[in-house]
């Protein structure tokens, strides 16, 4: 199914994990994909996994742009490169992020700034720069927030604060730009099998503790999150905006009590 034929889709953090899976899924569905990340090599590896259906995907149908989304001037250049090549933006996926652990008594000011800069300020910079083009195409934004942006975690003060900002920014952008024809939603994953979360989970057997609370009994794969993102970006979700969708195997259905 080619739901995104002739559509231009920007995916930040496209070099690995959820971003890589999402970029590949959009490419499989016919999109022209702009791969954004800080490392050219990882973006190239993502592009290598695009389908070899030359009816839809060829060298003119994707663009790799190295960009630090926490730097506003670089974001503006990235949007300019996108428009220069494809002349339009239909979908923006704000996926780039970083996990920062620590209580506020453990975090440095730089730890705090870095978490906010990448997770929240970066989402703001890219959304702001892309919005005029999305208004022209009546496009959509899908932010990758986190279940940690809908409730607290132990030892994740900066990350929780940043992702909570993304969660509520999603709602506000939906309200402000719904009249412009732009839909804005977010996915809120829980623990997902990526390099960023694996290191944290494996530190202290946290995976087993998580699975004990997860009704579906497994960690999400990046492809699970990509499927939700492409749904929210598609016309199948034409009447959905302002939603923060948990993609968590049912973890958020619990009030936190152990199973009796």
Residue at 255 is within a domain: no
Q: How many domains does the chain have?
A: 1
* CATH number for the domain that contains residue 115: 3.40.50.720
Q: Cα angle at 87 between 241 and 117, to 5 degrees?
A: 55
pLDDT at 162 over 80: yes
pLDDT at 29 over 80: yes
Residues 200-229 have pLDDT tens digits of: 555 557 778 778 888 888 889 999 999 999
Residue at 205 is within a domain: no
Domain that holds residue 89: 8-192+222-250
pTM of the model: 0.92
Q: 98 near 196, Cβ under 8 Å?
A: yes
Residue 166 has a pLDDT of: 98
Residues 43-66 have pLDDT tens digits of: 999 999 998 764 544 557 899 999
Residue at 204 is within a domain: no
Interacting residues of 155 by C-beta distance below 8 A, sequence separation 6+: 101, 102, 103
For this structure, is 159 an active site residue? Answer: yes
DSSP structural state of residue 61:
G
Residue at 109 is within a domain: yes
Among candidate residues 159, 182, 191, 251, the one labeled active-site is 159
């Amino acid at each position: 199914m080619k739901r995104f034929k002739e559509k231009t889709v920007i995916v930040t953090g496209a070099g690995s994990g959820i971003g890589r899976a999402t970029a590949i899924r959009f490419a499989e569905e016919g999109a022209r994909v702009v791969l954004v990340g800080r490392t050219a090599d990882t973006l190239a590896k993502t592009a290598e996994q695009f389908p070899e259906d030359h009816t839809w995907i060829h060298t003119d149908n994707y663009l790799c742009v190295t960009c630090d989304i926490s730097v506003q001037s670089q974001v503006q250049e990235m949007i300019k490169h996108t428009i220069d090549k494809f002349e339009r933006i239909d979908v923006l996926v704000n996926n780039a992020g970083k996990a920062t652990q620590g209580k506020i008594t453990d975090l440095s000011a730089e730890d705090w700034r870095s978490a906010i800069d990448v997770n929240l300020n970066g989402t703001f910079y890219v959304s702001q720069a892309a919005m005029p083009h999305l208004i022209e195409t009546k496009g959509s934004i899908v932010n990758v927030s986190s279940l940690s942006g809908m409730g607290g975690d132990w030892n994740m003060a900066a990350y929780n604060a940043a992702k909570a900002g993304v969660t509520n920014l999603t709602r506000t952008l939906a309200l402000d730009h719904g009249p412009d024809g732009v839909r804005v939603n977010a996915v809120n994953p829980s623990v997902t099998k990526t390099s960023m979360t694996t290191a944290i989970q494996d530190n202290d057997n946290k995976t087993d503790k998580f699975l004990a609370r997860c009704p579906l009994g497994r960690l999400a794969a990046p492809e699970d999150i990509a499927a939700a993102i492409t749904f929210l970006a598609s016309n199948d979700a034409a009447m959905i905006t302002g939603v923060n969708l948990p993609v968590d195997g049912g973890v958020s259905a619990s009030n936190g009590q152990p199973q009796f």
